[in-house]
Structure 1
Amino acid sequence: MKIAGVKGMNDVLPADVGRWHEMEAVAREVFALYGYREVRTPAVEHAQLFARGVGEATDIVNKEMYVFEDKGEELLALRPEGTAGTVRAFIEHGAYVEGPQKWFYMGPMFRRERPQKGRYRQFHQIGCEAFGIAEPFIDAEQIALLAGYFGRLGVTATLKLNSVGDQNCRPAYLADLKQYLTANQGALCADCRDRIERNPLRVLDCKVESCQPVLERAPRLVEKLCDGCREHFDLVKAGLDALGVAYTVDTRLVRGLDYYVRTAYEFTSDALGSQSAVAGGGRYDRLVETLGGPPTPGIGFALGEERLAMILEKLGRAAPERRPAVFFVTADATGAMEALRRAADLRRAGIACDLDPRGGKMKAQFKQAERVGARYAVVLGGNEVQTGQAKLKDLQTREETPIALADLAARVGG
């Protein structure tokens, strides 16, 4: 019986993996420039971590998490996002005693949402988290980091910025928003009506066309900020201006998770045909405390690797992949043994090479050499082994030149 892959899970094949290597290598380079260090957390956490951190009322916890009981009857979950697990590690290992920390992560996340273009049930994120800095210039610096990352990749992304207030000003705003949405719920879609009580801020993020007239007239949180949030937001904007990072204030921009306060931001790209988010983040000053740590401000972001890889492909960026410099074509058993030795020598010298251990007809071996993308082919048989001389065939130009086997590494290693 043929077994297909699980619905909503995505394979990344060797021809495409090069783009992922590039995204991740550039991330490590850029993040290091800003003092971020890599952390690796498990894909499985206690489900309660996300209920407390992400929020009981969010769609992620209510509808999308993969939750299961292990044999010890603990309720576990596949991580649906990266921040809560990173905060848990920050607390559990006492990293807060070392002062401000800047961490980044990359890896798979899991949500049982409806599969669609660029979105899968197992997906991958790259994210940054900065702990212990309440001042607004860290917000601006982190946003500039992400803008610089996209610039290094050659991706044009537009920054949207907003403030979602904090515990001082958001409750009164939410009361006004609920009142307004309730009065207009007849013109809203079913999802929006369901969110009015559970997560009213998410209603503002709805993309359903019929909801837009109501949402356009909704109260704006940015107009009801307390003095502290307003000053913070103004300084974030001033920092971005100083760093030369262009932005648009979007008063309807919210984040889907309960832990966000004050700064919220999102990078979008129209490279896939319509404005779509490729990264988003914001400030979460009470999350560490909520999860059992000391009061510690924080801010972070995550970007989706699948969607970013699609953008790079759309832009015509080839997936860089290291191909063999040499493919050994063997004519007989003596040549096959020599090919093994010569391949080992080249690999020790850091030169990629390949051969077909099955041997067989030389014509088929040449086809395999072209299939794997080798630059050169070298035919080895008893005669070549005895004389120490062979022919080096350039598989691009089809030219053949004589070469001493002892000089092979020097010839192809450049």
Structure 2
Amino acid sequence: MQRLRGTKDILPDESIFWQHIQNTASKLLTLASYHEIRTPIIESTSLFKRSIGNGTDIVNKEMYSFTDQGSRNITLRPEGTASIARSFINNNLHKDNTVKRLWYLGPMFRYERPQNGRQRQFHQLGIECIGSLNPMADVEVIRIATNILNSLNFSEYTVEINSIGTSEEREKYKEKLIRYLTPYINDLDHHARSKLITNPLKILDSKNIKTKEILNNGPSLYDCLEKSSKKHFQEVCDYLECLDIEYTINDKLVRGLDYYNYTAFEIKTKKLGSQDTICGGGRYDSLIKQLGGPNIPSVGWAIGVERLLLIIKDKTQIELQKPKIYIVSEGTKACKRILKIIPLLEKNNISYNLDLNNSNLQKKLKKANKLGAKICIILCDYEIQHNCITIKTLKNGSQEQISILDTNKLIDKIISET
């Protein structure tokens, strides 16, 4: 049996990097009063159709959807924000009228062509700040994203921002864009032609050189924004400058989900080739209301963990934890004695590896050295006969027998040697 295409086994020597990312993010997010939320990986298909949008590639081509045994239309979540919004409504998290700061880390699913940094089961670390229209909320989430990257010893990135205004302002822009691009329809790439009617804004992030050249002389989304949208965006820029966060205004940045408005942003790097976006997000003030909840503004982002791993692994020296103690026992009586000692090690936070092989003592000692243990606890026939435990220091080969009843001396010896 082989694993499915687009999925990956996360083995122990790699999972330590996942733990490092989660621990780093959790520490920083806790400082900023963000609290973890965990939502199901399956949701009603209608949730994503209503939130992400029927004109998006995610809904039209990439969702893993099926009908369950209760004839319900179910989808493996392709992104996290819609599930957070659904949970926010279902659990009445708006009742106390306070800003909710939430973070999550978990698997998402999209049927895409697998490539480096893009899997069909992938993982996102994301945050959502729910309940504030203040441009400072936009800047707070951007600052936290850069703070996490910097804390992971990665600084080779750029922050790109744009204002995509309101849905009404975007409709005006779409009309202008369609009118402008229609005479060039034969010069556009296939993807752009297919999006011209269904989702023309997605043409703006085309990688095709000819299409990009055509867009350079096209209408500007910014020119379609009203005063309030421009004011919000200017304040975001001012706050970023106040924090000395360097940014670039990218007037072609629109993101791929329909629920965004006002601020949209991406954090990119040249270290990943074509898959250059590490973090993407923005403001989504109408999503919760659109899903049947109250009219509550929100802003957030998601980081692709697989892509983040690709760029930090070479910069981060992490190894699997080596046990301080290797435990060797032979015979039923010895094993029973050892089982009484292990809780003492755990109580004192001493890591250990219990030998479960049937090899001889010399092979067991070689195994202890190979694993990097500092001490070997030996309890065999000799120790049972003399009612003691042998403590062998692997670095210099010295050893000492300690009474099996003197547990305090045993623990003190272990601590002093490790």
Matched, 1:130 2:129: yes
Deviation at 1:186, TM superposition (A): 2.0
Match of 2:214 in 1: 214
Please say if residues 136 and 236 of structure 1, whose CA atoms lie closer than 8 Å, have aligned partners that are also in contact: yes
Partner of 1:245: 245
Local SS of the residue matching 1:285: coil
Q: Is the 8 A contact 2:187 2:211 kept in 1?
A: yes
Q: What is the deviation of 1:81?
A: 0.3
Please, which of 400, 408, 411 is the counterpart of residue 409 of structure 1? 411
1:323–1:372 Cα contact (<8 Å) kept: yes
Contact between 2:117 and 2:275, CA under 8 Å: does it hold in 1? no
Residue 187 (structure 1) shift: 2.3
Say if 1:339 and 1:355, in contact at 8 Å, map to a contact too: no
- Aligned residue for 2:167, secondary structure, equals coil
- The aligned counterpart of 1:110 is 109
Contact persistence 1:124–1:305 (CA under 8 A): yes
User: How big is the shift at 1:339?
Assistant: 3.2
Q: Identify the residue that residue 186 of structure 1 maps to in structure 2.
A: 186
Identify unmatched segments of 5+ residues in structure 1.
none
Quote the sequence identity (%): 34
Q: Which amino acid aligns with 2:171?
A: P
Kept in 2: contact 1:131–1:297 (CA 8 A): yes
1:388 is aligned to: 388
Describe the superposition over 1:72-94 as per-residue Cα deviations: whole angstroms up to 9, x where unpaired: 11101000000001000111111
Question: Is the deviation greater in 59-68 or in 399-408?
Answer: 399-408
Deviation per CA, 1:208-245: give whole Å up to 9, x if none.
34433223333221233211110000000111111221
Aligned to 1:319: 318
Aligned residue runs from structure 1 range 15-414, under 5 A: 15-99=13-97, 100-156=99-155, 157-272=157-272, 276-315=276-315, 317-330=316-329, 333-385=332-384, 386=386, 388-394=388-394, 397=395, 399-402=397-400, 404=402, 406=407, 407-413=409-415
Q: Is the 8 A contact 1:79 1:109 kept in 2?
A: yes
Contact 1:16–1:319 (8 Å) recurs in 2: no
Distance 1:205 1:370 in 2: 55
Q: Which whole-Å CA distance do the structure 1 matches of 2:309 and 2:60 have between them?
A: 29
Separation of aligned partners in 1, 2:288 and 2:302: 18
Relative distance call for 1:60 and 1:251 in structure 2 (3 A) is same
CA distance in 2, matches of 1:277, 1:201: 18
1:303 alignment partner AA = I
The runs of 5 or more residues in structure 2 that have no matched partner are none
Letter in 2 for 1:56: N
- Asked if 1 retains the 8 angstrom alpha-carbon contact of 2:377 and 2:389, the reply is no
Give the TM-score of the pair, scaled to structure 1: 0.93
Between the aligned partners of 1:232 and 1:12, the Cα distance in structure 2 is 42
CA 1:367 to 1:278, structure 2 compared with 1: closer, same or farther past 3 Å? Answer: farther
After TM superposition, the score normalised by the length of structure 2 is: 0.92
Residues 132 and 298 in structure 2, CA contact (< 8 A), matched pair in contact too: yes
DSSP 3-state at the match of 2:253: coil
Aligned residues: 409
Q: Structure 1: how far apart are the matches of 2:369 and 2:207? A: 48
Q: CA deviation at 1:207?
A: 1.9
The one-character-per-residue Cα deviations of 1:266-296 (angstroms, maximum 9, x if unpaired) are 1112334567111110000111111001111
Deviates more, 1:267-276 or 1:144-153: 267-276
Cα RMSD (Å): 2.0
SS at 1:313 equivalent? helix
Q: Is the 8 A contact 1:324 1:372 kept in 2?
A: yes
Q: How has the CA–CA distance of structure 1 residues 224 and 347 changed in structure 2, closer, same or farther, with 3 Å as cutoff?
A: same
For the 8 Å contact 1:65–1:111, the answer to whether it is kept is yes
Confirm or deny: 8 A CA contact 1:37 1:104 kept in the other structure.
yes
